[in-house]
Structure 1
Amino acid sequence: MKKKITKIETQKRPGRYNIYLDQKYAFSVSESVLINFRLAKGMEIDEQLQKVILADDDVAKAYSKALNYLAHQLRAESEVISKLKELELDDGVIEEVLQKLRDQNLLDDQNYADSYVRTMMLTSDKGPTIIRQNLRMKKIGENLIDRALEQYPENELMENGIKLAEKQLKHYHHFPTKTRLQKVRQSMMTKGFKSDLITKILDNITIEEDPDEEWEDLNVQAEKIWHRNRKYDSRERIMRTKRSLYGKGYSMEQINRWVEERSAGDE
């Protein structure tokens, strides 16, 4: 049974129109659907055509939501899918919207990955491993990630790595050199730099050492440990103190010197 469009009314929401069939409100559509189906007063619509129109309008509404979501920042396809699923849309509608976005180059995981790598390179201290993990979380394919990481040339990676290493060396300046290097290496691995690259980076920087400051730090640490071990006899106390200081990264030469001076002071 066909019904006739008797009125088309503009909604308060821009781009939406109410359709009246036989003097009664029937449904609403977006402007794009209105144009695509050439809906006009006097046109006759049967139930089958109405279903097609409403299905197309579902796509139009979802597409509009997707455009609003993409307007704020670049998005991975998985993020757009999650956003559309929040609207409880059929999978077919979601796929149609995604295809429209792809066709218009508004959705491109390679472009997203390339942009993400460039941004991380310029604004963060994250290395390739962390960047790869973050892109995987966005469900970006491995081949796309590989191509995107080509945007991060080795000279830039070295430069950023050196800046990070120098910053970390300053942060751990109160630790003995051996421990400082261990902590810097561990920190850089946590940031996403691989072990062989870290070694190369550390080989390209000057590690400033202050023997007097390191000796003062050892004295402070040693006195605390020595006091903590006061319940043991002299031999056990010395052994435990040495072991603790060595574990903190001090050299045996420094440790033996401190023990000798401490023992001489106790005589």
Structure 2
Amino acid sequence: MMTKKITKIGMQKRPGRYNIFLDEKYAFSVSESVLINFRLAKDMEIDGQLEKLILADDDVAKAYSKALNYLAHQLRAESEVITKLKELELDDNVIDEVMQKLREQNLIDDQNYADSYVRTIMLTSDKGPSVIRQNLRQKKIGENLIDQALQQYPEDALLENGTKLAEKQLKHYHHFPVKVRLQKVRQSMMIKGFKGDLITQILNNITIKEDPDEEWENMKAQAQKLWQRNRKYAFRERILRTKRSLFGKGYSTEFINRWIEEQKI
């Protein structure tokens, strides 16, 4: 098998990269780790098979370097790193070697990622366990790892964050009748990932301020819009349609009948 001799090894301007010259001609470049692994030195003879091994190892080294750059900014799930490497159109065997290397050096760890994610969400957002689980599933984190990570979100913190969310939503829906307000708050909390039994516990412990005067004014505004919308109907039908809509919005029978009586005057 034909061999060539390394006649020169030159350092590139890029740190950690070296140009290899065979028989006085530039042949390829390698990373410092490959240079060391294969003990490349001047006057070393290289055949075609050895050159393929060197270049294959350098492909892994370059991919590994890019993976490190990607991981330098924040914690990543394994699936995110794999996706990033696939975007570089690397061979699957190269990606497998890089991922194994990252695991061995504890640079990627889905349990660590999930634990950190849960702690961050607990401290910085109003999302509950169901949404957290869904988001981690999208990162292809295993169910057992998610279960373990969710233990980072203790019941007292869950209750505290859920209460803050409920109070915020109650203020947001303050112009609705109490019954409707509670329905909307419950729906919002379920969308955020809180479970029904916890929502019930939280809402039962919150004192909801009722302001009959405010509710009456809000209902009058709604009733007036409905009354105007139903103006094309005969008076009796107009009343029935308006009452039905107000009932559907959660207003009390007392207020509705009071307003309707005022229209008859």
Answer whether TM exceeds 0.5 for this pair: yes
Is it true that 1:197 corresponds to 2:213 in the alignment?
A: no
Q: State the partner residue of 1:103.
A: 104
* Cα distance in 2 between the residues matched to 1:88 and 1:173: 54
Letter in 2 for 1:81: I
Deviation readout 1:14-62 (Å, 9 max, x if unpaired): 1000000110111100001111111111111111111111111111000
Question: Structure 1 residue 253: deviation in Å?
Answer: 2.0
Letter in 1 for 2:170: L
| Length-normalised TM-score, structure 2 | 0.97
Q: State the partner residue of 1:217.
A: 218
Letter in 1 for 2:150: L
Q: State the partner residue of 1:120.
A: 121
Deviation readout 1:117-167 (Å, 9 max, x if unpaired): 110000001111111111111111111111111111111111000000100
Gap regions ≥5 residues in structure 1:
none
Q: State the partner residue of 2:20.
A: 19
Number of aligned residue pairs: give it: 264
Question: Structure 1 residue 237: deviation in Å?
Answer: 1.6
Is it true that 1:138 corresponds to 2:147 in the alignment?
A: no
Q: Secondary structure at the match of 2:194?
A: coil
Q: State the partner residue of 1:255.
A: 256
| Length-normalised TM-score, structure 1 | 0.96
* Cα distance in 2 between the residues matched to 1:224 and 1:22: 90
* Cα distance in 2 between the residues matched to 1:3 and 1:23: 10
* Cα distance in 2 between the residues matched to 1:81 and 1:235: 68
The share of aligned pairs that are identical, in percent, is 81
Give the ranges of 4+ consecutive aligned residues of structure 1 lying more than 3 Å apart after TM superposition. none
CA RMSD, 1 decimal: 1.0
Q: State the partner residue of 1:52.
A: 53
Q: Secondary structure at the match of 2:18?
A: strand
Gap regions ≥5 residues in structure 2:
none
Question: Structure 1 residue 228: deviation in Å?
Answer: 2.0
